[in-house]
Structure 1
Amino acid sequence: MRSRLHALAGAVALIALIQPLHLYAAPETTDAEETKPAEAAPKPEDAAAKPEMTPEETAKKAAEACEEGKVMDAEKKECVEATPATDKKTLWENGRNFANAGQYERAIRTLELAEMSGDARVLSYLGYSHRKLGHLLVAMGYYEAAVAADPDYVKVREYMGEGFIQMGNLDGARGQLAEIGKRCGTGCAEYAMLEQAIGAAETARD
Structure 2
Amino acid sequence: MNRTTTILAAIAAASVSSMALAAGSDSTKPPVKTQTTQECKGGKIWDKKKAKCVNPQSGALSDDDLYDAARELAYDGQYENALKVLDVAENQNDARVLNYKGFANRKAGRVEAGMAFYQAALEIDPDYILARSYMGQALIADGDILGAESQLAEIEKRGGRDTWAYAALDKALGGEPSDW
- Asked if 1:198 corresponds to 2:173, the answer is yes
- Asked if 1:68 corresponds to 2:42, the answer is yes
- Secondary structure of 2:58's counterpart equals coil
Aligned to 1:49: none
Name the structure, 1 or 2, with higher relative contact order (CA <8 Å, separation 6+). Answer: 2
Structure 1 residues 123-152: Cα deviation after superposition (integer angstroms, max 9, x where no partner)? 111111111111110000110111112111
Q: Return 165-174 or 189-198, whichever deviates more.
A: 189-198
Distance change >3 Å, CA 81–CA 189, structure 1 → 2: closer
- Asked if 1:78 corresponds to 2:48, the answer is no
Structure 1 residues 25-83: Cα deviation after superposition (integer angstroms, max 9, x where no partner)? xxxxxxxxxxxxxxxxxxxxxxxxxxxxxx97942653242232432122332223312
Output aligned runs, 1:44-193, within 5 Å.
Answer: 58-59=32-33, 61-87=35-61, 88-114=63-89, 116-193=91-168
- Secondary structure of 1:59's counterpart equals coil
Structure 1 residues 85-140: Cα deviation after superposition (integer angstroms, max 9, x where no partner)? 33222211111111111111111111122274322111111111111111110000
Could you tell me which amino acid in structure 1 is paired with residue 66 of structure 2? L
Q: What is the percentage of aligned positions where both structures have the same residue?
A: 39
The alignment's TM-score, normalised by the length of structure 1, stands at: 0.63
Could you tell me which amino acid in structure 1 is paired with residue 67 of structure 2? W
Contact 1:158 1:177 in 2 (8 A): yes
The structure whose Rg is larger is 1
Output aligned runs, 1:14-29, within 5 Å.
Answer: none
Q: How many residues align?
A: 147
Contact 2:36 2:45 in 1 (8 A): no
Aligned to 1:48: none
The structural deviation recorded for 1:162 is 0.5
Q: Return 111-120 or 172-181, whichever deviates more.
A: 111-120
- Secondary structure of 1:107's counterpart equals helix
Higher helix fraction (1 or 2): 1
Distance change >3 Å, CA 73–CA 113, structure 1 → 2: same
Could you tell me which amino acid in structure 2 is paired with residue 81 of structure 1? N
The structural deviation recorded for 1:168 is 1.3
